[in-house]
Structure 1
């Protein structure tokens, strides 16, 4: 056995633990009523005020200052229309007199409603408003930029009242789609919370053997979500918060809050089992598990900070919301949980014996260590194979596909694309800063001659010196050929000022942003993570190993994402129609979140291994004992995370499903295959080299290094009163 590090000098007679986190724990315990009142106020404000963030969110964040976004903004400035409400009148001949009367009467009524900019239908001379079979027509209502939700709702209601024998009406359009996305996102978020919280409570009862301890993580999670909603509402006042950000932030807040509270409660039980009073146990928990929580939160925040490198609003919004949620989850674990322990600490079952040095996890590690090289190679091969499908991932802007086919706006979008091709959004639109004549010449001389272009559908004047050119492409409207057309149009602008926009252009812009800024974001996250893990371990080897292993588990997550949502694996079971690709920004968000969560579990495990190594165990024994003492809590935390993510994946929104499935896979792989097999195998092969660092770095670590291990003062030798142990169980849980 190695020689242990020198022990700290004895503490004062009252056995008080030094350090800011210990002081914070003491303060929260002493003033627990005030702390509880504060968090109750945060929760109430989050429910009453923060819940309104769904109303102020924006569907579709765009790509910031990209050319596609600038072109859209130019058209919007010249023709300030908020959007369109579109009705499909289907099932009766368009030429039928009753249908004509019903539609024209409705169009006349709509034209006089407040907020309406214009109305077009098949009987007003607007082209392409009747289907080729003559049995369906469109009524398109353009809403002024100043129109209110109430005015949009009034237009929707009037369209739904179009009544003609044999015809039925379905109302959609981009404004209805946006509202349905907001409403369904809120429902999915609520559904995820309602489903996951009871399930996590059941798991925590099994882990802790009692309801009192199991309930604390749930209470902390609810308070954290309230605080997160309040924070996001505040940010929505100063920046656009994409609708898709809200469930992502909520699921992260729930998962982290439960994990952090789980660590705190578990350490509290351990300290009580050693004979600490409730006050002492809270203080010592804050000093030890609280340090792990703070360090873990910092690593997750560093992973999310890479999103700030990108310019797209959705990335920045997720970065702001994610970091805020991490901070709130940390604050709840470090303040609310100690206060709650002060209230219910006596009701929490206390383990009657420490975690044995021999058990399932230590035996597993020994078996792995005997065959370290084959195990490591097998794990690397499995993870690499699991990640391989992502190499063939196709980016695709979903549009109405984010909703299931049962939604009205999705039905209208599908009908327009299939039966009214002249009214469907063009795959590529060129905004020309010139008059219609010049734009027409450009369309004839340049656009129409490109090899991937099947034709120019329309050249439409928008203002005095602004014209749009709708370009049709051969094959997939967002495929390789369409994206190549975008590049060719941007390479040859015909001597005019143009902006190439549309879904294909947005995909190209997202790809360009990820390819140019992604390496910088990855570098920022990698450097930050390497520095933090070095400060914790003092090793130059362990941080690099952790980084590589996390990338492997992340690849498996992205591979599963591709198989499920691009190729349609289990799509019937999960209740969605595959779109043939991935939303362009989802892999970036999965990387940021999954990387942070993987590092979360890396910190949980390495902190215990490092503590044992500092106590004098050699590297091999430290790994065995470290996984034995932390394996159960890491596995439990991983299971809880998977439940949370799976609960959100059960919702209706496609993007929420993608994030939920990807993160559930990432956590499941990381908490099992990586932590239980790959990490022990790699550390066993490295041996004492795990802790190597150049002399200058060792010196630096001695000066500024961080450590999970805290030298706690000895507890006073005292018997635990029967009243304190009346409810003690025989539960044994790792720390």
Structure 2
């Protein structure tokens, strides 16, 4: 075997260094793997579902002040008690419920409980009188609330037959989602890995070569779990980050390993020694992997500043898992390849060619699209535009218990409260407000302002009433002495103790609509727009949280789009020293992304394929999904952009023939890009088959974008547009040209396919 002394780039030196002591590198990798597997195994126990509250928003401030000043928390537990054949207003039944709640309220993690027996609130009783709702508020963050729920749930169920109990609310929903997430992740990995192994075996026709991407994928799964658990010690990480990170890390690591293993086999076939082959592999495919991984990480990093736990944690988890994939592909795999050497081709199946022979099929595809570029572009744009049409009807809908199994208690409670034949829909949709004044709320001037504001709110359509401590305290009808007596008498005195603290008062608007409905959102906006001179009003509750979430996402969307597009432009500009290639790539990514958005609406909002994918059609797409998908898909699409364009650029610099270089680049990369995309689709598809609708939406959107990107965009649009652009494809300003000429295109070139 011969040596190659021409490899002196940083990537080549890294490959050579790893190849010099492969056993030492592999020993360190093995220790890291074992440690990561042990440390990361219980990661799901350390991850809450993650809230949708916006840090610093009005709703978040209102929730914090309501809890601190009035002991009022969110509807963490909604406990539905049913008295078959009886009336829950029966005093004996009420005594039984209060006896049950006594030990619950003694738990340090319980803020308080709201019942019909202490508030006389009619919305807490079903229309037929056989059911009553108890609202329990818990303290602490998501994990603390889960721990409290597990402690008090048996106490809440300690009733005498024939009383029936169902427990729902935000915390039980989170508990169910955690269990589903764990089961989905395990099932998806058990399905994805064997299928991915089969596909790599069909591609490489060698068991040893086929096992390497799977081994790297397993290493990355362990590393990503450990890194996610580690990150959870410093910031809140949602359990969704675990699932999204798992399919992102597994898919990317297998893709990267596929490219590197194939390139290593080609370098061996050229006659290089294993150490030099490893150096050459990192110098070529390794550089392309680094560029594409960096692009994905930068795209995801754009979401980290979003002040929302779910998006923030998914972004952090994604950056960590892609970093782990890059470490495994560029820091572990080269040592493993150097150690194996020619043994990487052992246990072959059939005949496998190891050179980079171009694919006749992809040569024909490129030739056809370049012979008719205008027609090809028009047809592709029309097709992608047709896929994108449903985007015009996109609605957003907050996730609720409908994402759970039909037999889930949390879902049964939610369905009961949402059924107008059973409960007044406002029972779980109340809108709390924290009102701050200058001075005591019992000051006559302040009482007038509070009562006037409550009257204004009561006139808003959809508000059935406003609860406060001031209904019987009219400073214009009572003398100061009578006002003081009324404040000291019951039930006003109890209301004042519960709803007044210093210079702040709590008002609660009874909403006639389900909390997640558009009508409820309009009510919150009307409350915030209502005049309130002399009062500082903070509107809270789940509906206000929904309104703040949607508005924040709208405000941040343009910034995120600009940053992601900007990162991608700069990365491609640095990689190819071309102005038009990055612009063209960004425009094409937008086309495939728009088409995948359209598919999301068609499936999840319109309900097509609901039975096949096993979910209940939603009123809209989760509001966080479009932004997450934009960052993830934009980054992933650049993988295949880099792999294809780098080989095209290599051929163009060698021949200066635009048409020949495009066809040759497509012919040499078409098969391996398709194989890599197919493996990624299998991994993503395994997670789409799970039960978490949030992960289904991200996964299906990613799968659609990848499939469209590899087929329509890379196979047809890229050759056609490059034919029209001609030599302008590689135009750069004069100040960039000397550096462009110095770049060794071979170092950016991905491995070619191995026809079977």
Picking from 470, 479, 499, the partner of 2:538 is 499
Q: Structure 1 residues 711, 87: CA separation in 2 closer, same or farther (over 3 Å shift)?
A: closer
CA contact (8 A) 1:64 1:312 kept: yes
1:93 aligns with 2:93: no
TM-score, L = length of structure 1: 0.88
Alignment match, 1:40: 30
Aligned 1:359-378 pairs, distance under 5 A: 359-378=360-379
Which residue of 2 is the match for residue 685 of structure 1? 724
Q: How does 1:378-457 map to 2 (within 5 A)?
A: 378-418=379-419, 419-421=422-424, 424-426=427-429, 428-434=431-437, 435=441, 441-450=451-460, 452-456=461-465
How many equivalent pairs are there? 703
* Correspondence list, 1:540-559, <5 A: 540-559=579-598
- Contact 2:299–2:634, Cα closer than 8 Å, also in 1: yes
* Aligned partner of residue 49 in structure 1, secondary structure: helix
- Tell me whether 1:733 sits opposite 2:754 in the alignment: yes
- Equivalent pair of 1:308/1:315 in contact (CA under 8 Å): yes
Structure 2 partner of 1:54: 44
1:75 corresponding residue in structure 2: 66
SS in 1 for 2:586: helix
Tell me the distance in 2 between the aligned counterparts of 1:588 and 1:134.
Answer: 45
Aligned partner of 1:670 in structure 2 is 709
Cα distance in 1 for residues equivalent to 2:160 and 2:589: 59
Q: Does structure 2 retain, via aligned residues, the 8 Å contact 1:94–1:137?
A: no
Q: For residues 601 and 310 of structure 2, what CA distance do their matches in structure 1 show?
A: 21
Alpha-carbon deviation of 1:126?
4.9
1:690-714: CA deviation from partner (whole Å, max 9, x where unpaired): 11223233245457x68563699xx
- Residue segments in structure 2 that go unaligned for 5+ positions in a row: 347-351, 470-497
Secondary structure of the structure 1 residue equivalent to 2:195 = helix
Aligned counterpart, 2:676? 637
Other structure's SS at 1:170 match: strand
1:259-293 Cα offsets, whole Å, 9 max, x none, are 11111111111112222232232221111111111
Quote the residue 1:131 is aligned against: 126
Distance apart, 1:603 and its partner CA = 0.7
Quick check: 1:656 aligned with 2:695?
Answer: yes
> For residue 22 of structure 1, what is the aligned residue in structure 2?
12
Deviations 1:290-338 (A, max 9, x none): 1111111111122223224533333332332222222211111011111
**Equivalents in 2 of 1:732, 1:263: separation in Å?**
9
CA contact (8 A) 2:650 2:749 kept: no
Once residues 261 and 448 of structure 2 are traced to their aligned partners in structure 1, the CA distance between those partners, rounded to angstroms, is 71
Root-mean-square deviation (CA), in Å? 3.0
Note if contact 1:61-1:242 (Cα within 8 Å) is conserved in structure 2.
no
The answer to whether the Cα contact below 8 Å between 1:553 and 1:666 also exists between their aligned partners in 2 is yes
2:257 maps to which of 257, 261, 264: 261
Residue deviations 1:368-409 (CA, integer Å, cap 9, x gap): 112211111111111112112122211221133343333222
* 1:617 Cα offset (Å): 4.6
Q: Which deviates more from structure 2 when the two are superposed, residues 96-105 or residues 173-182?
A: 96-105
Note the alpha carbon deviations across 1:673-695, whole angstroms, 9 max, x for none: 11111111111121222112232
- Once the two structures are TM-superposed, the CA of residue 478 in structure 1 deviates from its matched residue by 4.3
Q: CA distance change for structure 1 residues 442 and 220 in 2, over 3 Å: closer, same or farther? A: farther
Which region of structure 1 is more displaced relative to structure 2, 382-391 or 625-634? 382-391
Q: Are the counterparts in 2 of residues 92 and 99 from structure 1 also a CA contact under 8 Å? A: no
Q: Does 1:612 align with 2:612?
A: no
1:594 to 613, 633, 637: 633
Identify the range of structure 1 (540-549 vs 101-110) with the bigger mean alpha-carbon deviation.
Answer: 101-110
Distance 1:16 1:694 in 2: 29
> How many angstroms apart in 2 are the aligned matches of 1:590 and 1:710?
27
Distance 2:110 2:748 in 1: 67
1:694 aligns with 2:715: no
For residues 677 and 593 of structure 1, do their structure 2 counterparts lie closer, same or farther at Cα, with a shift above 3 Å needed? same
> Could you say if the C-alpha distance between residues 345 and 467 of structure 1 is closer, same or farther in structure 2, counting changes exceeding 3 Å?
farther
Contact residue 292 and residue 708 of structure 1 kept, 8 A:
no
Describe the superposition over 1:417-439 as per-residue Cα deviations: whole angstroms up to 9, x where unpaired. 32343674327443323549568
Q: Which residue is 2:660 aligned to?
A: 621
Distance 1:592 1:734, change over 3 A: farther
Instruction: Give the whole-Å Cα distance in 2 for the aligned partners of 1:56 and 1:315.
Output: 17
One of 161, 164, 171 as aligned partner of 1:164:
161
Do the aligned partners of 1:630 and 1:734 also contact (CA within 8 Å) in 2? no
Match of 1:232 among 210, 228, 232: 228
Within 1, Cα distance between the matches of 2:281 and 2:234? 38
Match of 1:106 in 2: 100
CA distance in structure 2 between the partners assigned to 1:273 and 1:480 by the alignment? 64
Superposition deviation, residue 25 in structure 1? 1.7
The 3-state SS of whatever aligns with 2:539 is: strand
* Rounded Cα–Cα distance in structure 2 between residues aligned with 1:525 and 1:598: 12
| Pairs within 5 Å for 1:490-569 | 490-495=528-533, 496-569=535-608
- 1:245 CA drift (Å): 2.2
- Cα contact 1:224–1:332 (8 A) shared by 2: yes
Identify unmatched segments of 5+ residues in structure 1: 1-11, 713-730
- C-alpha distance in structure 2 between counterparts of 1:356 and 1:321, whole Å: 39
1:485 maps to: 523
Distance 2:45 2:74 in 1: 16
Distance 1:409 1:539, change over 3 A: same
Offset of residue 633 of structure 1: 0.7
- Summarize deviations over 1:549-584 as a string: whole Å, max 9, x none: 001001111111111111111112111112201111
Which residue, out of 312, 315, 322, partners 2:311? 315
Structure 1 Cα separation of the partners of residues 553 and 74 of structure 2: 29
Cα distance in 2 for residues equivalent to 1:130 and 1:288:
70
Q: Distance in 2 between matches of 1:353 and 1:31?
A: 26
Mapped to 2, the partners of 1:46 and 1:625 lie a distance apart of: 43
- Asked if the contact 1:107–1:121 (Cα under 8 Å) also holds between the matched residues in 2, the reply is no
Structure 1 residues 652 and 99: CA distance shift in structure 2, 3 A: farther
Correspondence for 1:199 among 177, 195, 202: 195
Secondary structure of 1:733's match? Answer: coil
| Deviation at residue 535 of structure 1 after TM alignment | 1.8
The alpha-carbon deviation at position 60 of structure 1 amounts to 1.3
* C-alpha distance 144-625 of structure 1, shift in aligned 2 (>3 A): closer
Deviation at 1:188, TM superposition (A): 1.8
Q: Structure 1's 701 and 476: CA in aligned 2 closer, same or farther, altered over 3 A?
A: farther
SS in 2 for 1:169: strand
